[in-house]
Amino acid sequence: MFLQCFRSSRLACLVFLLLSAAAFSAEPQADSEDIKIFSGEPRLLIAHGYSTSAHWWAFLQRKIDRYMGGPDKRVVEVQLCNKGGTPIARWMNVGTGEPSAAWKQMLTPMIQAEKDKRPVVVLCQQSLQGVYSSGDRGGGTRADRAAGIQGADDHERIKRGADVIEQYARCILDDGAAAVVVGMHIYKRSMEPAIGNERLALAELMTRKPVRIYAGPDVWTPTSKQHPLAFDTDGAHPNYIGAEMMAHCWFKALLEREGLEVPQWSRQEMEDAIENQPMGLTRDSAAFQQKLKEWKIVSRKPSAPPRNRGSRPARKGRGVPQRILQRYDNDGDGKLNEKERAEFERARQQRRATGR
């Protein structure tokens, strides 16, 4: 009797161990499932970033619609989740890993609303501004948006950047996203070479082979070659040409990730936008201004109705227009403090002086 009980208990233990091992081995397999965007199944793509992401997402939607049979047959939807002046270090606390209030109010609900409906892939057009302390170079201990990776030999900051990008992406996955694709900042003359070097941190992260985290396109190189043509009058934010370039780069990267051929018409759309400048489409021309109007209409959020001066909703911040808040409200509190207002005034005086 004792022997029989011993054998039974040993068998039960064996079964338990086998089931536990099966469950353990199955978890990474499910976690590493490669979500295909162009499978023909419903997908939601969320473009996550800040003011530089305000428009390219709409151009990407147009390209995906064309590639997949037109907007009437849309199965892959692109939505925007952005907030001006909010790189990674303001979307989350990079010390504790805690998402910000804006993250919890904006991004988390967008992802979780799709639970059991369709997979969500978050396309992050992001930056490491504010991750590094100027004290690393003898300038104090405050986090500084202008501080960054100084070059390929700046191994400590490259590793720090890779850690932060991974932390940020894993928080998105924790919210319920199926995959995260990360791209770094476009060219930014006032903060080079640090902005361009952010790509070194992303490359470092990819050597770790993170699960369900992928490298997005390099938008720095093409936009650096088209400055200031592809930028708005402030020289920092993309205009319709820059948005077309960013959309093509993202479209190309997403297709190539799945081993799909990139249609020539997408590159042609980008080249046509760039070619407009030598054909006389200067910043001051009526044609250029008309193109900008069309661009702003096309890239407006679908959920946001057209605004006019008479119906503009009241905003916190002593009547500061939203477009100015988006660019200069660095702390995201909905108003311009003394330093932010001074930055805006300097930019305005510079535009007046240069006639741009």
For residue 28, the surrounding DSSP H or E stretch is: helix 2-31
- Decide: residue 294, CB within 10 A, 0-12 exposed, 13-18 middle, 19+ buried: exposed
Give DSSP secondary structure letters for 317-346: TTT--HHHHHHH-TT-SSS--HHHHHHHHH
Q: Which whole number is the average pLDDT over 67-75?
A: 94
Share of the chain above pLDDT 70, in %: 67
- The pLDDT value recorded for residue 17 is 38
pLDDT tens for residues 29-46?
334 468 899 999 999 999
Query: Do residues 129 and 226 share a domain?
Result: yes
Q: Which domain holds residue 339?
A: 315-356
Tell me how far apart the alpha carbons of residues 216 and 129 are, in angstroms, rounded to a whole number. Answer: 18
pLDDT of 207 strictly over 60: yes
271 and 200 within one domain? yes
Decide if 246 is inside a domain.
Answer: yes
Distances (CA, A) of 5 to 9, 10, 14, 16, 257: 6, 8, 14, 16, 56
Asked if 153 and 189 sit in the same domain, the reply is: yes
Please check whether residues 67 and 122 belong to one and the same domain. Answer: yes
Q: Which of 112, 105, 98, 58 is nearest to 83 (CA)?
A: 105
- State the average pLDDT over residues 153-165: 97
Q: Give 339's pLDDT tier (boundaries 50, 70, 90).
A: confident
Q: What's the pLDDT score for residue 248? A: 97
- 10 found inside a domain: no
pLDDT at 128 over 70: yes
pLDDT band at 232 (very low <50, low <70, confident <90, very high): confident
Question: What integer best gives the mean pLDDT of the chain?
Answer: 79
**Token representation of residue 31:** 């976690």
27 located within any domain: no
| Least confident among 53-67, 253-267, 309-323 | 309-323
What pLDDT, on a 0 to 100 scale, did the predictor assign at position 341? 75
Please indicate, yes or no, whether residues 47 and 96 belong to a single structural domain of this protein.
Answer: yes
- Into how many domains does the chain fold? 2
Model pLDDT, residue 289: 62
Q: CA neighbours within 13 Å on the CB side: how many for 34? A: 8
Based on the fold, state whether residues 325 and 238 are members of the same structural domain.
no
Residue bearing tokens 């948006």: 145
Question: What pLDDT is stored for residue 240 in this prediction?
Answer: 86
pLDDT exceeds 80 at position 273: yes
Question: Residue 75 pLDDT more than 70?
Answer: yes
Structure tokens at 174: 């924790």
